């Protein structure tokens, strides 16, 4: 039933040969991998105003074009730079691969940790901002914003578990709808604004800030710039997931970057310009886009369409992380710095473990920060700009090392990008440190240390399991040891007889082991054992504390057992299987506890012999493997 329900929700399994069919074109891939950057217009201008308005009041709006212009220039530099990364590393991995191969492995891990944190924050911030758009249109839902955000995240987990191609169908239309509605808002807003003359101050329902009268300082402008840099997050996602594009994947990914730059220039630049005309106020209950839309269209149908498309896109923008994070984590896992489960494709050919882990971490963040976008933003840009910086320096070193055709031009682009992103990450780290950036700055080295720990574990395991080629012949020809079977029993029944027959067919060294918790309790078993035509010894051990597992472990370790150092011991656990799963709860299931206790014992093999009590649906073939009366042989 659970399997059928899972197939209905997630879809049928896909064969590995269908992987090429799951890749997407530019039209379908752009919204999935670029929606984060495109949607950032919905909160980037808000963050700039939060930094400026409480400090310098009306003067804030005159500085928005300059700050937005610098951010747009940074975006263009990053776009050109990441197109070069796509050319150089079409296999995906983006900044992680660049830093690992051109700098040091440690720098690659810093990038991996930074992007991992950023992807989790992308989901939390995007979903929280989308929820804010909903509550801006329907204020009565404001107190339920956390529940709404968590519900959207769970929906996105399911949507992405259905597969790459299907999730692109689900989440692409909101991106294009948002671009159309924002373009409509920008055009109508400019026309109504009379060519740029201020249209007056918009006051949200509950004013949360007052106009400040401080002097304009470089530190204030840098703070506003660092807040607005949220507009360029998500740029790295296309480079991380190049293999998800249809062939020619490299060409399609570069085309997606060109369209991305144009889309962000239109949306972010347009809304920033409208802010200089309509003077919206920063508010946690009503976004900048919401205030401008009311001023331009009133609270009519177009306003609600804009809010709806904004809310849906902001929620769907988290899909950039759901596309990029699992792919990046799979590459890190293949390198041995993350659990290998993250490198396994699920039944729909996606990295399902990474999808689920990302969603659960985002749910945790939304819950901790109450779904407040303004509180999450300070944590947001530190990680991604750290990866930007290391990627730029990595590519710069690559060009100087390889010197291909046109390397000077490419090095110039990456050199400019390296300087700008390094300055930006310093600004963000300083300006946002006390607002929460310290959490990310502390978290990144901890994640790197954890990655090194994982790698150390895998190296240790590989070293201990490795067998040199010149040792294979010796091992295969001269390795000899005796084999002993121990069959723990509680009574003498058909299942026990079957287990003893099976063990005796493999080796003459078989012992039946019984624990006697009370004096005389084993007398009945001993009398019945005498009637059994076998020379298999019955070992009975008393257990004054009524334990079953420890006496068996002590017997295996004792000299009383016939095994010698180096011999293999198999503990064969007879286990009957009942017709319904819940019926197992009515039995002691001692075999499970014995198995768990023996897993850390050297030279001990734990084997389970199932015995079906009745003909269970779908298990006929397995039952026939254990006949109640096997063929006669010479063993007793």
Could you write out the DSSP letters of every residue in 307-352?
A: HHHHHHHHHHHHHHHHHHHHHHHHHHHHTTSS-GGGGS--TTSS-H
Question: Does residue 625 have a pLDDT over 60?
Answer: no
Q: Which helix (H) or strand (E) holds 511?
A: strand 510-516
Q: Is 469 exposed, middle or buried (0-12, 13-18, 19+ CB in 10 A)?
A: exposed
pLDDT, one tens digit per residue, over 93-120 is 788 999 999 998 999 999 999 989 988 9
The SS3 assignment for 513 reads: strand
Q: Is the peptide bond before 248 cis (omega within 30 degrees of 0)?
A: yes
Range from 175-184, 226-235, 250-259, 530-539 carrying the lowest mean pLDDT: 226-235
Question: Does residue 627 have a pLDDT over 60?
Answer: no
pLDDT in the model for residue 472 = 59
pLDDT band at 207 (very low <50, low <70, confident <90, very high): low
Question: Does residue 567 have a pLDDT over 70?
Answer: yes
Question: Does residue 475 have a pLDDT over 60?
Answer: no
* Mean of pLDDT values over 605-614: 84
Phi, psi of 572 (to 5 degrees): -95, 120
Q: Is the pTM of this model over 0.75?
A: no
CA 171 to chain centre: 19
Q: Phi/psi zone of residue 533: left (φ > 0), alpha (ψ -120 to 50 degrees), beta?
A: beta
Question: Per-residue b/e over 508-523, b at no fewer than 16 CB within 10 Å?
Answer: ebbbbbbbbeeeeebe
CA separation, residue 523 to residues 122, 440, 535, 540 (Å): 68, 67, 18, 10
Instruction: Find the Cα–Cα–Cα–Cα dihedral 172, 173, 179, 181, rounded to 10°.
Output: -160
Phi, psi of 571 (to 5 degrees): -95, 110
- Would you say 381 and 172 are in contact if contact means Cβ atoms under 8 Å apart? no
Q: Which residue has the higher pLDDT, 440 or 164?
A: 440
* Mean of pLDDT values over 303-312: 85
pLDDT in the model for residue 367 = 92
The first and second tokens of residue 508, run together, are: 């003459």
pLDDT in the model for residue 329 = 92
Mean per-residue pLDDT over the chain, rounded? 82
Rounded percentage of the chain residues whose pLDDT exceeds 70 = 84
pLDDT band at 200 (very low <50, low <70, confident <90, very high): low
DSSP state letters, 115-150: HHHHHHHHHHHHHHHHHHHHHHH-GGGGGGHHHHHH
pLDDT band at 636 (very low <50, low <70, confident <90, very high): very low
In the sheet that 483-488 helps form, which strands lie side by side, from edge to edge? Answer: 538-542, 510-516, 483-488, 568-577, 604-612
Q: Which residue has the higher pLDDT, 467 or 337?
A: 337
* Mean of pLDDT values over 378-395: 85
Question: Does residue 524 have a pLDDT over 70?
Answer: yes
Q: Which residue has the higher pLDDT, 595 or 619?
A: 595
Range from 139-153, 158-172, 217-231 carrying the lowest mean pLDDT: 158-172
Cβ of 230: how many Cβ atoms within 10 Å? 30
Closest among 329, 340, 394, 334 to 107, alpha carbons compared = 394
**DSSP β-ladder status, 568-577 and 538-542:** unpaired
pLDDT in the model for residue 481 = 64
pLDDT, one tens digit per residue, over 411-457 is 999 999 899 888 888 888 887 787 777 888 889 999 999 999 999 99
**CA angle, residues 311, 316, 319, in degrees to nearest 5:** 155
Closest among 397, 178, 409, 432 to 307, alpha carbons compared = 178
pLDDT in the model for residue 635 = 46
CA separation, residue 555 to residues 109, 323, 575, 600 (Å): 48, 54, 21, 15
pLDDT, one tens digit per residue, over 43-81 is 788 888 888 888 887 777 888 888 988 888 888 888 999
In the chain, the domains with their CATH numbers are 20-459 (1.20.1740.10), 477-624 (3.40.50)
Range from 103-107, 317-321, 376-380, 528-532 carrying the lowest mean pLDDT: 376-380
Residue pointed to by tokens 């029944």: 493
- Would you say 407 and 399 are in contact if contact means Cβ atoms under 8 Å apart? yes
């Amino acid at each position: 039933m659970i399997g059928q329900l899972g197939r209905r929700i997630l879809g049928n399994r896909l064969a590995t040969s269908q992987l090429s069919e799951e890749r997407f074109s530019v039209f379908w891939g752009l919204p999935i991998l670029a929606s984060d950057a495109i949607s950032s217009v919905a909160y980037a201008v808000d963050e700039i105003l939060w930094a400026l308005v409480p400090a310098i009041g009306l003067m804030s709006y005159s500085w928005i074009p300059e700050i937005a212009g610098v951010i747009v220039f940074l975006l263009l530099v990053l776009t050109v730079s990441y197109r070069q990364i796509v050319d150089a590393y079409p296999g995906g991995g983006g900044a992680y691969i660049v830093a690992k191969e051109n700098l040091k492995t440690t720098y690659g891990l810093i990038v991996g940790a930074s992007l991992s944190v950023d992807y989790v924050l992308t989901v939390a911030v995007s979903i929280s901002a989308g929820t804010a758009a909903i509550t801006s249109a329907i204020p009565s839902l404001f107190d339920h914003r956390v529940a709404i955000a968590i519900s959207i995240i769970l929906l996105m987990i399911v949507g992405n578990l259905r597969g790459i191609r299907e999730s692109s169908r689900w989440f692409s239309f909101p991106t294009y709808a948002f671009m159309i509605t924002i373009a409509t808002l920008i055009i109508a807003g400019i026309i109504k604004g009379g060519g740029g003359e201020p249209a007056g101050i918009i006051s949200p329902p509950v004013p949360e800030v007052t106009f400040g009268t401080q002097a304009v300082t470089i530190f204030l402008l840098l703070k506003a710039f660092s807040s607005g840099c949220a507009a360029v997050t998500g740029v790295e996602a296309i480079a991380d997931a190049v293999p998800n594009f249809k062939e020619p994947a490299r060409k399609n990914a570069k085309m997606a970057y060109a369209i991305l730059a144009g889309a962000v220039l239109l949306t972010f630049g347009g809304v920033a310009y409208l802010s200089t005309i309509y003077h919206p106020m920063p508010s946690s209950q009503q976004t900048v886009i919401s205030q401008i839309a009311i001023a331009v269209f009133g609270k009519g149908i177009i306003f609600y369409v804009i809010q709806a498309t904004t809310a849906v896109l902001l929620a769907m923008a988290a899909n950039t992380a759901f596309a990029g994070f699992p792919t990046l984590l799979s590459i890190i896992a293949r390198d041995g710095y993350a659990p290998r489960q993250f490198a396994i494709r699920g039944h729909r050919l996606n990295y399902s473990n990474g999808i689920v882990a990302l969603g659960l971490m985002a749910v945790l963040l939304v819950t901790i920060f109450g779904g407040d976008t303004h509180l999450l933003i300070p944590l947001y840009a530190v990680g991604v700009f750290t990866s930007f910086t290391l990627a730029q320096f990595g590519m710069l070193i690559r060009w100087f090392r390889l010197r291909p055709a046109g390397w000077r031009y490419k090095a110039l682009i990456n050199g400019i990008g390296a300087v700008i992103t390094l300055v930006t990450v310093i600004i963000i780290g300083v300006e946002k440190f006390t607002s929460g950036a310290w959490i990310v700055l502390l978290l990144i080295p901890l994640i790197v240390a954890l990655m090194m720990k994982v790698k150390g574990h895998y190296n240790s395991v590989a070293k201990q399991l490795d067998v040199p080629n010149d040792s294979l012949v010796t091992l295969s020809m001269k390795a000899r040891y005796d084999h002993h079977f121990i069959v723990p029993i509680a009574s003498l029944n058909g299942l026990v007889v079957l287990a003893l027959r099976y063990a005796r067919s493999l080796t003459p060294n078989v012992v039946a082991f019984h624990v006697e918790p009370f004096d005389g309790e084993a007398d009945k078993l001993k009398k019945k054992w005498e009637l059994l035509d076998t020379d298999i010894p019955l070992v009975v051990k008393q257990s004054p504390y009524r334990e079953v597992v420890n006496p068996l472990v002590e017997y295996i370790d004792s000299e009383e057992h016939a095994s010698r150092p180096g011999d293999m011991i198999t503990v064969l656990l007879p286990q009957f299987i009942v017709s319904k799963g819940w019926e197992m709860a009515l039995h002691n299931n001692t075999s499970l506890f014995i198995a768990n206790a023996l897993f850390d014992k050297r030279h001990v093999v734990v084997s389970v012999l199932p015995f079906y009590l009745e003909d269970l649906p779908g298990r006929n073939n397995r039952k026939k493997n254990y006949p109640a009366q096997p063929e006669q042989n010479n063993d007793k």
